[in-house]
Amino acid sequence: MKNYAETELKDMEVLAGKYREFLDLGKTERECARNIVKIAEENGYRNLEEILEKEETLKAGDKVYAVNMEKAVLMMEIGTDDLEKGMLLVGSHIDSPRLDLKQKPLYENTGMAYLDTHYYGGIKKYQWVASPMAIHGTVVKKDGTALNIAIGEKPEDPVVGITDLLVHLSAKQMEKSASVVIEGEALDVLVGTRPLEGEEKENQVKNYILKVLKEQYQIEEEDFVSAELEVVPAGKARDFGLDSSMIMAYGQDDRICAFCSLMALLHSKKTAKTKVCLFVDKEEIGSVGATGMQSRFLENTVAEVLNCLGQYSELKLRRALKNSSMLSADVNAGFDPLYAEAFEKNNSAYVGKGAVISKYTGSRGKGGSNDANAEYLGKLRQAFDAGEVQYQTAELGKIDVGGGGTIAYITAAYGMDVVDLGVPILNMHAPYEISSKADVYETSKCYKAFYEM
């Protein structure tokens, strides 16, 4: 990390505080989307739905937001240039690896009640046992009422969790390879042991849990069918390190980039180009579905805005997308000296050394990657130097050690310039990930310099 001036360190601390709060308020994509909408409204952004309903028009300087199924959000500040000249987009994802409850999750076994899960995204399953977990999500009743719940975050709340075999009896387990030490079907969450009093002999512990769910959360067993409940690590984001230079928290991939881009959008100057901040869902399972980057949410929203500006045509929509520049805002691996063999030192990102540009991602010979154009990177270097941003470049680990992807290749299909740019993270996809406050600070500055280029 470089030596920062007193004032910069102060700004960094303020930003880190806001970031921790952002993480605490958004531990699922729905919660995060809700919080982003709240912040957008506080900053003068208006719901596009409302503008469409009232058949209002839009003009340069207007600020709007659109929400896709409560899980993805697009914020836009309309510039003075015609939209067909292109936009400046920063796109991140707000879903994170976790354990989703199955549709029929609740069962009892030997006097203990469990909730069965199906993991979401790439996880090392053995990391998710023997620690406190919370249940967050939405239950939709048959009549359409939606209940939002979060159990396990308040100090007085109970937590839940997954048990692991005691070490004394683990001789055989310890011989297994790490990928099967804990298997997917063993990720069942222990939720109770108290039996319901009554005549019945069977399933009285499960019945007690049903009573609790009914009395405290108005949830019945059948309601799990129309629910999205996510088991996530319990607790708040914390300062990390004896020098408090880092942050440890669940879900920093990729809410860290979501936060930095949101801050950049809110604090950047008015520009000729239209600025867009996009927060999508489902990246961790391939950007699929109606709320993932592969859906038409971006395209449809830009079409609606063009229409409200009195500029809509299919051709103008295509031009607006093609002429845009984008930062695919996603995390990269921070170099970890304890696992140095997985990295190539010269082309790794270092925690605390600023935002990281990844020209390409992918695996086995750049497979599946968006390999950004040199011309585009040249332009960005100029913008970042003008904004006095500290940045670095990196690949995701050594060649053929593994790999990964982002949303970059999806928007690149419109013919726009896209490159991955985000924050280096330690412990990526572990229940608690680690980031550097300096990188949150630099990456926010980086996205701001991009919006102002």
- What track of x and - describes contact with Mn ion for positions 314 through 343 (by CB under 5 A)? ----------------x-------------
**CB of 320 or CB of 329, closer to Mn ion:** 329
User: Between residue 355 and residue 414, which ones bind Mn ion under the rule CB under 5 A?
Assistant: none
Count Cβ atoms within 10 A of the Cβ of residue 195 and give its class: 0-12 exposed, 13-18 middle, 19 or more buried: middle
**CB of 304 or CB of 330, closer to Mn ion:** 330
**CB of 253 or CB of 439, closer to Mn ion:** 253
Residue 442 binding Mn ion, by CB under 5 A: no
| Least distance between Mn ion and beta carbon 331 (Å) | 5
**Residue among 190, 30, 184, 165 nearest 122 (CA):** 184
* CA-to-CA dists, residue 364 to 121, 345, 400, angstroms: 20, 19, 5
Question: Which residue of 253, 395, 417, 439 would you call a contact of Mn ion, by CB under 5 A?
Answer: 253
**CB of 316 or CB of 359, closer to Mn ion:** 359
User: Between residue 109 and residue 128, which ones bind Mn ion under the rule CB under 5 A?
Assistant: none
**CB of 254 or CB of 442, closer to Mn ion:** 254
Which pair of tokens denotes residue 52? Answer: 């469409």
Which pair of tokens denotes residue 10? Answer: 């102060």
| Least distance between Mn ion and beta carbon 283 (Å) | 6
Check residue 289 and give left, alpha or beta (phi > 0: left; psi -120 to 50: alpha): left
| Least distance between Mn ion and beta carbon 92 (Å) | 8
Q: Which helix (H) or strand (E) holds 421?
A: strand 417-422
| Least distance between Mn ion and beta carbon 327 (Å) | 13
**Residue among 35, 34, 78 nearest 320 (CA):** 78
User: Closest CB to Mn ion belongs to which residue?
Assistant: 254
Question: Which residue of 95, 223, 254, 417 would you call a contact of Mn ion, by CB under 5 A?
Answer: 254
| Least distance between Mn ion and beta carbon 136 (Å) | 18
| Integer Cα distance of 258 and 260 in angstroms | 6
| Least distance between Mn ion and beta carbon 425 (Å) | 9
249 and 20 Cβ atoms separated by less than 8 Å: yes
**CB of 96 or CB of 325, closer to Mn ion:** 96
Scored b (16 or more CB within 10 A) or e, 198-218 reads eeeeebbbbbbbbebbeeeee
Which pair of tokens denotes residue 35? Answer: 């919080």
- Site residues for Mn ion per CB under 5 A: 253-254, 330
